[in-house]
Chains A and B, each alone.
Chain A
């Protein structure tokens, strides 16, 4: 230890210490994450998808979704000009696939964030307050847990107007119970530790306990849950769009599949209309699952020992 370090510590106090600690834990996390080959592959795939989606305005532009000046003839098979053929309007399917990634990823992320936020909120408060409040909340959670998610989401998407927000909401409010259950269990475990009792004795209120002590401890769990949730949400978005519950004017992967089915591409064998968006959905969902599992096992080493 160099001589000027103690001086700095005294200067900036606990903040620098915390930063150091965080940096160290990030490095530790990464070193452990690196050992998961599947997780690395998933991460690489994710970075690739994210790049494709973020650069889409530069590479294909929003014009690709325009129908009036579509460049090709309807339902052209793959060729040099259109590597993945054209759709029923004569639009370039490769371009649509790239453009559709934005919506699919966006909806997936937003819905997962919404779902995890609701789940965390319910889980922490239920675990912290206990009593009648928790009983009621957990019965509601149970009810959502046994409801078939898709049916509920379809019902919601049907009664509300067709837009992206609706789909996000429909997925978000139907997929939170698992997170809520997990977070509540973790909250109970954390709150039974002696230091929580000490914090209470020192005058820590509900808000302080929940936000300063419980939340940081359940955060890893929430993070892993969110990563896994994204793949579920992307699949759910594709499913809803495929069932015709999405916004028909917005290009998404599920929407492309739905269009392909409506145009009769399945029975006429126009595979280029069906297979690419299908594979894209599967690949992204797989990538998020791989990452999520890796994060989970890094944060919770017991998982691996048990297996």
Chain B
């Protein structure tokens, strides 16, 4: 499961055309600039989903639209989160410490040769159409992904190493592997009902949005879906772990985060998940609000600066036009040593993040690694300058560093136009690297995917959500993830390919002892750090907010200090308890509206004055 937040592909389409279109429609005379900004809070936002009177509805505002409801295709965080609710996976993660707990499987064991895994499937899980969920369904799901390329789009990486999957009995699933694989208790693959899905023709086209309710066996059943608008789910009363407490769950898509926050203030939504998190200003103002709780938890994401290592394909063909000076590790280290991570935390994230060190966030303590004092690329601009001098990139008389071709170095930094943090950090980079004598061009694009895949960038803002099992985020830097040819898309993040890293990757995947595996993973992080292609600047917190007069309690993950939206499991929405009285406190004192009113008034007064003046002047002239 790729729960990518920042990287290419997913955040690109996060906010696209329709938004601009709507703003254009709102464009009018002098008030245009304002009305465009404030149209959203003033919008008569869609009322809370019309449900039967007295039903408790949990409305979640998300900043992503659903890419597909088919578990074989969906890659965005919002879609995979919904699939967690619709379908059971073989295993789940414990909300306290992320260890594997029973899901559809109640027990699992591996053979002594580590190549055969046997799962016992529970007999108390039924599909929502009344049929029993069996090992047959699981075997069919995996076999489909192994044989049909269209079905392997989203989760194919999980079955790449599978030899054979069989279901000898309704309660027994046997998976035979080609090579040992340590991630067998972290198979994030939704198991779908065979009797429904075997009628599907083309898996690469079917989006699972034709007939409702969608047959599933998770804690919720999907009952309604409107693209780019909402997803509606009803609780599964027969869910084996117990039915959810809310009568309805609605996941509503808000293009504009400020609009979602305004809706939360008015009580139109119960929960706001940021994109990727609420801004510091939003969090600060929501903290003072009655009946709203801000959840500021250590995040599972890292926020990094990726370097183009010279894009190439598996067949050895090179493409893209990354700056050749970046192939020198000293240059990469110098660049990162000129990045003051503390300022990034203090000013850009305003404390809602933790300073970056290793590749995996400290929240996953067993895998968290940090560089030793001698290894660390601490903030030291002078040392960075010396390093560049040593590498042969000297300053000219104008203070600009010259590349090997004798021209001043200017790096293109790819940034997401939709992410304010990228732009803010980009401005700092421009000044920090400017001091070093290196020019920066910020390429802020709505769609970063194209230059990213083509390798036509020098550096880029990058970030991924890390799963409890780090295999996926580690795998995207192996040579095996490179695209087969420059024409196709590979699983690779930014074309890193390093022999030593690959060897370590293979070793950790074959290691079944958690402690030993963790040691190897840390060695991989160390190697990645030294390579300098992925420089982690920060681990952003998950900053989200919900109404306490609608949600009485909700489980975070990890339970001590964890996030609510985008969990590795269905714990939050499954555990949410509605507040006794559905507080319909429609406080009209929404500041957005107040500001909008003030600005509008100013414009009206201005325009009025203008008209009056003109009237008078013409009247004068007539006399």
Contact = CB atoms under 8 A, between A and B. Distances in A.
Contact of A235 (B30, B424, B599): B30
Interface stretch (A67-75, A113-121, A212-220): A67-75
B616 interface: yes
Interface in A7-31: none
A67 B610 contact: no
Contacts of B424: 67, 88-89
Interface in B434-463: 442-444, 446
A271 interface: yes
A88 B427 CA distance: 12
Nearest to B447: A158
A267 B261 contact: yes
A261 B427 contact: no
Nearest to B418: A244
Given A243-B20, A268-B281, A271-B595, A89 B614 contact: no
Given A38-B610, A154-B24, A304-B618, A264 B36 contact: no
Interface stretch (A187-195, A200-208, A272-280): A272-280
Contact of A244 (B27, B347, B417): B417
Interface residues of B, number: 61
B477 interface: no
Given A35-B620, A262-B279, A282-B602, A289 B610 contact: yes
Interface in B582-598: 590-592, 594-595, 598
Contacts of B284: 75, 268
B209 interface: no
Contacts of A262: 279, 420, 423
A238 interface: yes
A286 B30 contact: yes
A239 B617 CA distance: 31
Contact of A275 (B265, B442, B595, B618): B595
A249 B417 contact: no
A135 B359 CA distance: 65
B400 to A, nearest CB: 17
B515 interface: no
Given A254-B33, A266-B41, A279-B602, A88 B595 contact: no
A6 interface: no
Given A68-B343, A74-B347, A304-B618, A264 B603 contact: no
Contact of B432 (A68, A161, A235, A268): A68
A269 B427 contact: no
A261 B261 contact: no
B438 to A, nearest CB: 15
B442 A263 contact: no
A248 B419 CA distance: 12
A267 B23 CA distance: 18
B610 A264 contact: no
A263 B20 CA distance: 19
A35 B621 CA distance: 8
Given A67-B428, A249-B442, A269-B591, A89 B347 contact: yes
Contact of B281 (A67, A264, A286): A264
B503 to A, nearest CB: 41
Nearest to A248: B423
A152 B304 CA distance: 35
Given A267-B591, A271-B595, A88 B281 contact: yes
A291 interface: no
Contacts of B606: 282-283, 286
A302 B429 CA distance: 58
Contacts of A36: 617
B459 to A, nearest CB: 15
A96 interface: no
Given A154-B24, A268-B591, A242 B618 contact: no
Interface in B256-283: 257-258, 261-262, 265, 278-282
A68 B33 contact: no
Most buried by B among A242, A248, A270, A283: A248
A257 interface: yes
A289 B617 CA distance: 15
B553 interface: no
B603 A75 contact: no
Contact of A257 (B37, B41, B591, B592): B37
A274 B594 CA distance: 12
A233 interface: no
A270 B598 CA distance: 13
Contacts of B446: 158
Contacts of B24: 148, 150-151, 154
B519 interface: no
A293 B614 contact: yes
A61 interface: no
B444 A263 contact: no
Most buried by B among A37, A70, A88: A88
13 contacts: A37-B620, A67-B347, A68-B343, A90-B347, A244-B444, A264-B261, A267-B591, A267-B592, A268-B284, A271-B598, A278-B34, A279-B602, A307-B618
Interface of B: 20, 23-24, 27, 30, 32-34, 36-38, 41, 257-258, 261-262, 265, 278-282, 284-286, 343, 347-348, 350, 417, 420, 423-424, 426-428, 430-432, 442-444, 446, 590-592, 594-595, 598-599, 602-603, 606, 610, 613-614, 616-618, 620-621
Interface of A: 35-39, 41, 66-68, 70, 74-75, 88-90, 148, 150-151, 154, 158, 161-162, 235, 238-239, 242-244, 248-249, 254, 257, 259, 261-271, 274-275, 278-279, 281-283, 285-286, 289-290, 293, 304, 307
Given A150-B27, A268-B591, A304-B621, 10 more contacts: A67-B347, A70-B347, A88-B281, A162-B443, A249-B426, A263-B281, A266-B38, A266-B595, A268-B282, A278-B602
